[in-house]
């Protein structure tokens, strides 16, 4: 005869196997940190599992949060946490066992199986904020716009203002709606969420994306500047919202303003965080496409990437692409080619999903950057023109992947293909008819 393990519940009524009150409090604090980016959830939970080694959710949470950094470096610690959670299967609830299985799927490269497992958990426990957050972040890394919206939509009716953390769920829904081009609904949900919790950087981000996609760059600048005291200080995600502010400056051709944000907010000091370095690469590259002198910033950024490439190369093609940008941008072509070689190797040997990402988009995108730097602009056009329609396969948001279109457009200009450049500006002008950047692209296209 089996007997059910003794359980407790979290603040949303979701069951966990029995744990000390202090561990349950640590879980709530870590969850807040996971959702809000104010502080590192794994620091909170590492202390909790030290005090209570059988705290199942502590191990599962730690493993999953480390995986979702999109970096290979923490994998040994991830394995340790997953194995610890698996060893507690006799005590764990069904949900905890499923969450542990999801983490193992993810770690072994089966991100979609992890997402399906979180969906099963959410079918039973639609208020499992941890599972929603894990699924949402993975959908982002997958470039899966539909599930960014619908994974949240499937559980949203089970939430309301009385449930702790409701605003975070609304904010995720807003971002998913934005990635599905449903801008009015996205904005309405984001504004509701910010009315509840104005410090939520992810919701600020969702609304920022709406303003970016609708080319409301003056409004976007005002919004981010005026709200930055809410979302920026001590926040682990602030660099990305600052990056978006720099994009608004770029759109109005205020290149000095964009560079100032790079120096002061996006990469203010050496960083080891791939997602932050990625934004640095993406910003400097956009400036380089406009012939802005970024001085030795590419070199400094390339040093930060180079310190990581031995470990990270070939793990996640979206990161590799941005490493190549920094290295090639700094003129360090041999090192950029080393990263490309790692992506090519990943396209043969990685688990199926990341193999696909490397093969379908990663190799061509990395090669295009190297070709651009070495002046083979026609090759860049050949590679990127078809790729734009399926580039979401290697992850990121529409705004992030716009770097491919901007590179294509500029390569068309530089290769003298005025007709194609003109058509690409026409496309851009539909969403961005009045921006100085569109005008600038138009002038460049006309000048050939
Ligand atoms: Fe973004």
Residue whose tokens read 């926040």: 235
**Ligand 1 geometric centre to CA of 396 (Å):** 8
Residues 18, 20, 21, 27, CA torsion sign: negative
CATH of the domain at 360: 1.25.40
* For helices 201-213 and 398-414, angle between their N-to-C axes, nearest 10 degrees: 40
Q: Could you tell me if residue 83 is inside a domain?
A: no
- Burial of 344: CB neighbours in 10 Å, binned 0-12, 13-18, 19+: middle
**Ligand 1 geometric centre to CA of 119 (Å):** 24
Q: Could you tell me if residue 118 is inside a domain?
A: no
**Ligand 1 geometric centre to CA of 209 (Å):** 6
**Ligand 1 geometric centre to CA of 274 (Å):** 14
Q: Are 206 and 399 in contact (CB under 8 A)?
A: no
- Residue 386: per-residue pLDDT: 97
**Ligand 1 geometric centre to CA of 416 (Å):** 32
- Residue 5: per-residue pLDDT: 55
What does the pLDDT profile of the chain (448 residues) look like in tens digits?
344 558 999 999 999 999 999 999 999 999 999 999 999 999 999 999 999 999 999 999 999 999 999 999 999 999 999 999 999 999 999 999 999 999 999 999 999 999 999 999 999 999 999 999 999 999 999 999 999 999 999 999 999 999 999 999 999 999 999 999 999 999 999 999 999 999 999 999 999 999 999 999 999 999 999 999 999 999 999 999 999 999 999 999 999 999 999 999 999 999 999 999 999 999 999 999 999 999 899 999 999 999 999 999 999 999 999 999 999 999 999 999 999 999 999 999 999 999 999 999 999 999 999 999 999 999 999 999 999 999 999 999 999 999 999 999 999 999 999 999 999 999 999 989 989 999 999 999 998 6
**Ligand 1 geometric centre to CA of 277 (Å):** 14
CB atoms under 10 Å from CB of 358, counted, come to 29
**Ligand 1 geometric centre to CA of 400 (Å):** 7
**Measured distance CA(24)–CA(322) in Å, rounded:** 39
**Ligand 1 geometric centre to CA of 141 (Å):** 12
**Ligand 1 geometric centre to CA of 89 (Å):** 38
- Residue 434: per-residue pLDDT: 87
Q: In this structure, what are the phi and psi dihedrals at residue 144, rounded to the nearest 5 degrees? A: -95, 85
Cα 60 to Cα 37, 47, 66, 101, 271, distances in angstroms:
19, 14, 10, 9, 27
Domain hosting 310: range is: 276-415
Q: Total structural domains in the chain?
A: 1
**Ligand 1 geometric centre to CA of 133 (Å):** 16
For the chain, the 3-state helix, strand and coil shares in percent, each to the nearest 5, are 75, 0, 25
Q: Could you tell me if residue 157 is inside a domain?
A: no
**Ligand 1 geometric centre to CA of 442 (Å):** 26
Q: Could you tell me if residue 101 is inside a domain?
A: no
**Ligand 1 geometric centre to CA of 174 (Å):** 13
- Residue 3: per-residue pLDDT: 47
Which pairs from 162-166 meet CB under 8 Å and 24+ separation?
Answer: 163/12, 163/127, 164/11, 164/12, 165/11, 165/12, 165/31, 165/32, 165/35, 165/129, 166/196
**Measured distance CA(132)–CA(447) in Å, rounded:** 49
**Ligand 1 geometric centre to CA of 207 (Å):** 10
**Measured distance CA(2)–CA(153) in Å, rounded:** 36
**Ligand 1 geometric centre to CA of 11 (Å):** 30
**Ligand 1 geometric centre to CA of 20 (Å):** 38
Q: Are 19 and 59 in contact (CB under 8 A)?
A: no
Q: What's the half-sphere exposure (Cβ side, CA atoms, 13 Å) at 95?
A: 25
Q: Could you tell me if residue 338 is inside a domain?
A: yes
SS3 414: helix
Q: Could you tell me if residue 113 is inside a domain?
A: no
Closest CA to 172 of 155, 190, 160, 159: 190
**Ligand 1 geometric centre to CA of 98 (Å):** 30
**Ligand 1 geometric centre to CA of 28 (Å):** 26
Closest CA to 444 of 410, 406, 403: 410
**Ligand 1 geometric centre to CA of 266 (Å):** 13
**Ligand 1 geometric centre to CA of 243 (Å):** 8
Please give the structure tokens belonging to residue 163. Answer: 């449930």
**Ligand 1 geometric centre to CA of 279 (Å):** 9
SS3 341: helix
- Residue 29: per-residue pLDDT: 97
């Amino acid at each position: 005869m089996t007997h059910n393990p003794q359980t407790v519940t979290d603040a949303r009524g979701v069951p966990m196997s029995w744990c000390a009150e202090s561990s349950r409090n640590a879980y709530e604090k870590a969850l807040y940190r996971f959702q809000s980016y104010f502080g590192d959830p794994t620091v909170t939970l590492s202390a909790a599992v030290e005090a209570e080694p059988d705290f199942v959710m502590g191990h599962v949470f730690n493993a999953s949060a480390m995986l979702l950094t999109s970096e290979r470096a923490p994998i040994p610690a991830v394995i340790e946490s997953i194995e610890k959670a698996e060893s507690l299967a006799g005590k764990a609830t069904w949900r905890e066992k499923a969450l542990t299985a999801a983490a193992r799927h993810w770690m072994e490269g089966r991100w979609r199986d992890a997402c399906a497992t979180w969906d099963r958990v959410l079918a039973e426990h639609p208020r499992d904020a941890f599972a929603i957050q894990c699924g949402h972040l993975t959908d982002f890394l997958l470039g899966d716009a539909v599930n960014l919206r619908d994974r949240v939509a499937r559980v949203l009716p089970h939430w309301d203002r009385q449930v702790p953390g409701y605003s975070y769920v609304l904010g995720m829904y807003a971002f998913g709606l934005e990635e599905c081009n449903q801008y009015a609904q996205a904005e309405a949900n984001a504004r509701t969420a910010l009315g509840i919790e104005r410090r939520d950087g992810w919701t600020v981000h969702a609304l920022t994306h709406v303003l970016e996609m609708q080319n409301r760059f003056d409004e976007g600048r005002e919004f981010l500047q005026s709200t930055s005291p809410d979302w920026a200080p001590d926040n682990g995600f602030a660099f990305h919202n600052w990056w978006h502010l720099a994009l608004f400056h770029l759109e109005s051709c205020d290149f000095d303003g964009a560079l100032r944000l790079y120096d002061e907010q996006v990469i203010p000091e050496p960083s080891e965080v791939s997602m932050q370095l990625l934004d640095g690469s993406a910003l400097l590259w956009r400036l380089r496409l406009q012939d802005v002198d970024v001085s030795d910033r590419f070199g400094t950024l390339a040093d930060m990437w180079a310190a990581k490439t031995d470990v990270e190369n070939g793990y996640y093609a979206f990161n590799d692409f941005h490493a190549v940008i920094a290295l090639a941008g700094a003129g360090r072509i041999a090192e950029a080619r080393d990263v490309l070689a790692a992506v090519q190797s990943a396209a043969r040997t990685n688990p199926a999903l990341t193999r696909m990402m490397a093969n379908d988009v990663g190799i061509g995108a990395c090669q295009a950057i190297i070709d651009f730097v070495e002046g083979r602009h026609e090759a860049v056009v050949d590679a990127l023109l078809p790729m734009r329609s399926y580039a979401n396969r290697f992850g990121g948001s529409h705004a992030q992947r716009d770097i491919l279109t901007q590179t294509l457009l500029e390569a068309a200009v530089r290769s003298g293909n005025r007709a194609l450049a003109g058509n690409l500006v026409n496309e851009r002008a539909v969403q961005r008819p009045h921006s100085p950047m569109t005008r600038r692209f138009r002038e460049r296209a006309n000048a050939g």
